[in-house]
């Protein structure tokens, strides 16, 4: 029987470098499907901005696909139910999709989809779209596998699909989204493939000229970082596309005799080195899905949980701690949905050490604020910055030092905390020196135990970064030490893996 394909779109909302869409061109008939899932809308990480940005990407993609003969259907409900209902009108034989590394609800969903496919005789084919490796047993050689994937040729946009007529397109489920509590989102950046490419091109050609310097300050990072992290999170760009575009630009700059061009190449090399870190952190969630809920090193269980102070959390969440750089960063993030990597790390460090808050609730708040929320990077970084991995150096950021280094004139702080410097501004919520000393004493008391050290060895074996398998040129490029926080959400937290 000739194959009839259904391409299930998730966080891969593009036409280029898209294996499932390419495979669909070989079938007798094809359609694409995007499901707005109640489980997603109800998840504690989901925010109105995520839903609205997904819609904007879908609308752009739907028009592009329709022009090439492929209908993009939108449905609301559980994925198995959506598949079951659709199959009554379109007897697809193959379900084609990318692999996904997501929160626990998405893993449960995938198991249900697999069961539905087995029951109904549908063959489900999946392809990787990042450097994450399914069922990875050992990190040795992982970096080499990443390099091999990223260097492989990008897949072209198909000219035409053998589309299916007569299927109900489906509308965006506005009422269901509103009923789930998602109202009007904050302002969003332009969505879709063209916008994603324009953002990347602008960075590689112009804005990235001082990347290594610009990425640390909230004053310069807004334009000096790549700002493609949200496009990566929703899949308007693939990691392979970004990698190859970056390497091509670096090669062109290095070929120039102009010293400024070669300096630009050096700046972009700093960006390129963070791309692998993006997938490195996602691999941790893939290999250990429970890190979104439990400490990576279980030696730290119970250390912070009994001390969770709701009033401190609310002050941190709303930007009312009496620490001006912390408050400015949080208010800026809450208003815009983006913050650069160093300031993201400072917010987590402050919650974890100064306020002694367990990382889960702060992590959920930040997940809702980050438009570029990428689960694997997010939860790995929440734990790394909170000191619960067992293997990373404790990173305690001083808000005062961050302000001196990255906002010395107080421009950023006064923009977001206009009451700063007046009697209306709150006093500090804690004494910084004593709070940090208290936190460090408790963490180091755990780290020095024999059981914690033995566990750290096991964590290093399971999750530690290795360059083995990289070609000599790539190893050489990576000799410069990666930043404490990379790109996941804001630069290895996300935007600096990328940008």
Stretch 109-113: mean pLDDT, rounded? 98
CA distance 362 to 378: 11
Question: In the predicted model, is pLDDT for residue 478 greater than 80?
Answer: no
Contact of 378 with 492, CB cutoff 8 Å: no
Q: Quick one: pLDDT at residue 377?
A: 96
Whether the CA torsion 218, 222, 225, 228 is positive or negative: it is positive
Please, what are the domains in the chain? Answer: 4-129 (3.40.50.620), 136-156+192-499 (1.10.579.10)
Contact between 397 and 350 under an 8 Å Cβ cutoff? The reply is yes
Write down the pLDDT at residue 466: 57
pLDDT of residue 498: 43
pTM: 0.93
Distance CA 65, CA 15 (A): 8
Strand partners, 31: 6
Per the DSSP assignment, residues forming a β-bridge with 7 are 32, 96
The three-state secondary structure class of 218 is coil
What residue has token string 């391409």? 7
Residue 418 structure tokens: 């206009």
pLDDT attached to residue 470: 54
Output the DSSP codes for 61-117. HHHHHHTTT--EEEEES-HHHHHHHHHTT----EEEEE-----HHHHHHHHHHHHHH
Give residue 495's pLDDT.
41
Q: pLDDT (tens digit, 9 = 90+) per residue, 274-288?
A: 998 999 999 999 999
- Counting residues of the chain whose pLDDT is more than 70, the rounded percentage is 93
Q: What is d(CA 368, CA 358) in angstroms, rounded to the nearest whole number?
A: 17
Mean pLDDT, rounded, for 6-21: 98
Res 457: pLDDT: 86
Secondary structure of residue 392 in the 3-state scheme: coil
**What is d(CA 160, CA 495) in angstroms, rounded to the nearest whole number?**
34
Q: How far apart are CA 60 and CA 187, in angstroms?
A: 18
Neighbours of 313 (CB within 10 A): 17
Give the pLDDT band of residue 483 (cuts 50, 70, 90).
very low
Question: Per residue in 69-89, pLDDT tens?
Answer: 999 999 999 999 999 999 999
Tell me the three state secondary structure of residue 11.
Answer: coil
Tokens of 104: 């626990």
Give the burial string for 254-268 (b: 16+ CB within 10 Å, else e).
eeeeeeeeeebbebb
């Amino acid at each position: 029987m000739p194959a009839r394909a259904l391409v299930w779109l998730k966080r891969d909302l593009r036409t280029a470098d898209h294996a499932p869409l390419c495979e669909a061109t070989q079938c007798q008939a094809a359609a694409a499907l995007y499901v707005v899932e109640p489980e997603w809308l109800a998840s504690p990480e989901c925010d109105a901005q995520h839903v609205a940005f997904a819609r904007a990407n879908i609308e752009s993609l739907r028009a592009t696909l329709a022009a090439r003969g492929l209908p993009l259907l939108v449905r609301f409900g559980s994925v198995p139910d959506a598949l079951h209902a659709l199959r009554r009108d379109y007897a697809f034989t193959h379900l084609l999709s990318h692999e996904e590394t997501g929160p626990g609800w998405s893993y449960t969903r995938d198991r249900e989809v697999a069961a539905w496919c087995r029951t109904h005789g549908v063959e489900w084919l999946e392809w990787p779209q990042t450097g994450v490796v399914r069922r990875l047993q050992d990190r040795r050689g992982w970096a080499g596998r990443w390099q091999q994937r990223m260097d492989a040729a990008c897949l072209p946009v198909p000219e035409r699909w053998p589309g299916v007529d007569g299927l109900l397109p489906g509308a965006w489920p506005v009422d269901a989204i509103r009923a789930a509590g998602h109202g009007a989102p904050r302002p969003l950046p332009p969505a879709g493939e063209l916008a994603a490419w324009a953002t990347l091109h602008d960075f590689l050609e112009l804005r990235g000229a001082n990347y290594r310097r610009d990425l640390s300050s909230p004053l310069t990072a807004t334009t000096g970082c790549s700002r493609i992290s949200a496009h990566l999170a929703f899949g308007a760009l693939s990691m392979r596309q970004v990698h190859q575009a970056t390497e091509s630009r670096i090669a062109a700059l290095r070929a120039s005799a102009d010293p400024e061009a070669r300096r630009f190449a050096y700046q972009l090399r700093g960006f390129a080195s963070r791309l692998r870190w993006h997938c490195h952190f996602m691999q941790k969630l893939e290999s250990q899905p429970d890190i979104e809920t439990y400490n990576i090193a279980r030696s730290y269980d119970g250390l912070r949980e009994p001390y969770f102070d709701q009033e401190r959390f609310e002050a941190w969440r709303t930007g009312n701690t009496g620490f001006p750089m912390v408050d400015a960063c949080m208010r800026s993030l809450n208003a815009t949905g983006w913050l650069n990597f160093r300031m993201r790390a400072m917010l987590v460090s402050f919650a974890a050490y100064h306020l002694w808050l367990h990382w889960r609730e702060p992590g959920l708040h930040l997940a809702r604020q980050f438009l570029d929320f990428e689960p694997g990077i997010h939860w790995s970084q929440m734990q790394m910055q909170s000191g619960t991995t067992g293997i990373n150096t404790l990173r305690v950021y001083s808000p005062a030092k961050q302000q001196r280094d990255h906002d010395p004139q107080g421009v950023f702080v006064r923009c977001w905390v206009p009451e700063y410097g007046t009697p209306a501004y709150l006093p500090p919520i804690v004494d910084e020196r004593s709070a940090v000393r208290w936190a460090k004493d408790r963490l180091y008391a755990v780290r020095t135990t024999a059981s914690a050290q033995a566990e750290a060895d096991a964590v290093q074996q399971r999750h530690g970064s290795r360059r083995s398998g990289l070609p000599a040129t790539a190893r050489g490029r990576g000799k410069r030490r990666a930043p404490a926080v990379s790109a996941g959400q804001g630069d290895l937290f996300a935007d600096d893996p990328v940008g």
